[in-house]
Structure 1
Amino acid sequence: MKRIIPYIASDFRKDKIWLRRTKPARREYQVMVAVDNSKSMAQSTQAVELAYETLALVTTALNQLEVGQLAVVSFGADVSLLHPFDCPFDSEAGARVLSRFTFVDDKTDVVQLMDASLQLFDAAAVTASTTAEDLWRLQLVISDGVCQDHARLLRQVRAAMEQRIMTVFIVLDRSAIAAAADDVDPEKDSIMNTQHVSFVTGPDGKMEMKVERYLDTFPFKYYVVLRDIHGLPTVLAETLRQYFSLVGSE
């Protein structure tokens, strides 16, 4: 406000207020949105629709920054690249992407997703117009959060961070999806109440079963559990705001 008043008083001649907005940004962003294409996502049409909204929101954010590329993948039993980094994401591209989601896969292979996304980011780095130091990459994963092989996923997440790829997992809690589908017991399948079972070597050298709270072993450092699916756009907007603020302070 202190900068706006002198600008107006000067008959709009002192335009220093806008210099930071018109100065070319050194940083470039590559954002990948990975959406779960399994059957569990289709239990609620609202969950599916809100997943679609994320694409529009991320696109808007990148367009405002004028320095970004967007890729979209679907994952379930397999990983499919629906939109590559090096193509503009316009309304026609958005329609093509949305038409390719089926939500019929019987499983969700997050390990395969991480392997594929790392390869896609590596390939996309070649097309970036800036240096590696000014290239910032973000992966947004939208799923119900149920994944196997936490130890391997943890290694993959660390490998991504070493390549300056931040992965944020937005968990559409099954209780929220069940509630939207009018399930009689929405808490039954909540990830908050899920346990993780593993087998470890005990003091006597024998294998023992270890039961832990599922989220205590969740391999993704940055995640948010969304228990109200209507809050997805708000959570995503705040995630992007915090990410760009973090990058801006570097």
Structure 2
Amino acid sequence: MSTKSLALTLVHPGQLELRAVWQDERLQPGEFLVEVEYSSVQPMDGDMFHCCGAFSDLALPHVMGVEGVGVVLKSENQRLKEGARIGFLLRKFFNDEHHGCWQKRLVLDERRALVLGVPPVVGLNQVAACLSSSVAALAFLKPFAPQSQIIVTGACGAVGLAVLQLGALRGHRMLAFVRGPERAAWLAGAGLAGLPSAELAVVDTNSDWVRLAAPMCGKGELMSPESQDVCGGADGIIDAVGGEVLALAAEHLLRVRATVVSFGNAACESNERLAAAQRRLRLQVRRESVESFMATPDAAEQVQKAFELIGVYQAKAWHVASWREAQECMKEQPTWTRHQTQVKPGRIGRILLKLNGDIPQAYRNHGYKILVKGPKETIRFTFEEESAQSHNRSLADMMRLSSELFDERSGPNPARPFSQMSIIISDGRFNKSKVRPWVHAALARQQLPLLIIVDDFEADKAAGKRSVFDLRAVSYETGRCQVVPYLQDFPFPYYVVVQDLQSLPAILSDVMKQWFELATSA
């Protein structure tokens, strides 16, 4: 049976449209259906967008996208259960013929995609910011022995930052090269917060960087590139810049038989000075790739371990955009535009696309803008919407979105405990088992969810509904079927039942007072 899904589709070179696509969702053994929440804009997406380079013969229309994160809706895969939160990356990456990850519902299997579970206390947006860059970083770190000293150029790019952070967390001694004092200051501060500082150093390549970096690499005074004195030096370099930066680093900062790993455009260019340094120092030039790493037997295990470090390993999203803005993210933008672009010089991290269908997108670089038209809008709020999934999914989805919004603003570990609070107004009727993990995840992130249950007894009685105090639930905890009060074992540690709506302002003010006291005393 074919089912309709929304997909971001390249219809002509340089033109994306949000189109309905049809796919057969009758799953075969091993397959699963995922609802995609986020994907990202990769550097090679620019070539695909313009149908140039490796994509000059691309058949159109074509659904773009090589990775994403989301929730499993249906599964015929024994390892992946319905409701599982996953990240996935096409094993052939951009060499996959169909791509297609920029769509809301996607059928996959583990032969086509590397599939990773998202830890319970990690937001999907956090994983989306580091999915492909973590895989690339692990691929590029693979040739290095433990406790190597590694130079990283372009260290403020998505992959460079992941290499730097994961390398330091694995015990390597990392030396970051960035261009410009602004990026150097950001990287030395927020970019490397929480990492072992003794293993990290940052060098601005706009300065006399070779002379500054030489002592850090144990090279002492600089020698000419032709010098036969080749003592000391770093164990290798992971390079995304190429050109003179790579040549100078190879000539002056590397030891004999050091490893050189180039990626991106730097891996494709010819460099005569690098070739000369390679001959003189017998450098080992490697061509590692995301695809080759994903083919290794322990790839999923390594990436899973990287995800578990999130919180210390802080992935950076340059910008979060609605998928309706994806076309603008592919273009060079004037300085006054509100759009962010993947090709903008000096970007830090990755652009994320939020696959949000017809939902208006409300946030830009600095979190959500709350768009409410006061009392005229709030009086329209009711608890009357019913659907096949509203009882099971609505509040759980809202809790997930709330955590992701807080993570966008302050990260998963705010400086002051419980400085973030969400006030949730509900009729209190929801699937407790679906909501419980998200409440625990919010508390683990130092986020305080407060549930206000509106229980208007007189109105409910007139409508034939029972008070929340009169509701019952079935429990099997002791192995026997028992009928217990609905509010027993309630997932929210902080909740209040309001039966007189006139008292709601006083209750809210008292709640806010207690929250301020809790946040300031923590």
TM-score of the superposition, structure 1-length normalised?
0.52
What is the percentage of aligned positions where both structures have the same residue?
25
Q: Secondary structure at the match of 1:215?
A: coil
Which letter maps to 1:237? S
Structural RMSD (CA): 3.4
Q: Does 2:367 correspond to 1:86?
A: yes
- What is the rounded CA distance, in whole Å, between the counterparts of 1:120 and 1:222 in structure 2? 20
Distance 1:124 1:228 in 2: 35
Q: Highest relative contact order (Cα 8 Å, sep 6+), 1 or 2?
A: 1
Q: Which residue of 1 aligns with 2:385?
A: 105
Q: Paired residue for 2:416, among 134, 137, 159?
A: 134
The whole-number CA distance in structure 1 between the counterparts of 2:439 and 2:496 is 16
> Cα distance 1:152–1:195, how it changes in 2: closer, same or farther (>3 A)?
same
1:186-225 equivalent positions in 2, closer than 5 A: 189-200=466-477, 202=479, 208-225=480-497
**Structure with the largest fraction of helix:** 1
Is the 8 Å Cα contact of residues 177 and 229 (structure 1) preserved in structure 2? no
**Which one has the largest radius of gyration?**
2
Match of 1:55? none
Residue identity matched to 1:86: G
> What's the offset of the Cα at 1:164?
0.7
- 1:119 counterpart residue number: 404
Matches within 5 A, 1:1-250: 86=367, 93-95=371-373, 99=377, 103=382, 105-106=385-386, 107-108=390-391, 109-125=394-410, 132-134=414-416, 136-148=419-431, 150-175=432-457, 177-178=459-460, 183=462, 189-200=466-477, 202=479, 208-250=480-522
Partner Cα separation in structure 2 for residue 166 and residue 172 of structure 1? 19
Using a 3 Å threshold, how does the CA distance of structure 1 residues 87 and 219 change in structure 2: closer, same or farther?
A: closer
Aligned residue pairs, count: 155
Q: Deviations over 1:47-99 (max 9, x none)?
A: xxxxxxxxxxxxxxxxxxxxxxxxxxxxxxx9x6886573666xxx4318964
Equivalent position of 2:265 in the other structure: none
**SS of residue paired to 2:367:** coil
> What is the letter of the counterpart of residue 497 of structure 2?
V
Secondary structure (helix, strand or coil) at the match of 2:429 reads coil
SS at match of 1:216: coil
Q: Distance in 1 between matches of 2:473 and 2:450?
A: 21
* C-alpha distance 177-220 of structure 1, shift in aligned 2 (>3 A): farther
How many Å apart are 1:102 and its aligned residue?
5.8
* Distance change >3 Å, CA 119–CA 96, structure 1 → 2: same
With over 3 angstroms needed to count, the CA separation of the structure-2 counterparts of 1:243 and 1:172, relative to structure 1, is same
What TM-score, normalized to structure 2?
A: 0.26
Residue 176 of structure 1: how far off its partner (Å): 5.1
Amino acid at match of 1:119: E
Deviation at 1:197, TM superposition (A): 1.6
Specify the alignment match of 2:234 in structure 1: none
Structure 1 runs not aligned, ≥5 long = 1-77, 203-207
| Aligned residue number for residue 28 of structure 1 | none
Question: 2:420 is matched by which residue type in structure 1?
Answer: R
| Shift in alpha-carbon separation, 1:164–1:184, aligned structure 2, 3 A | closer
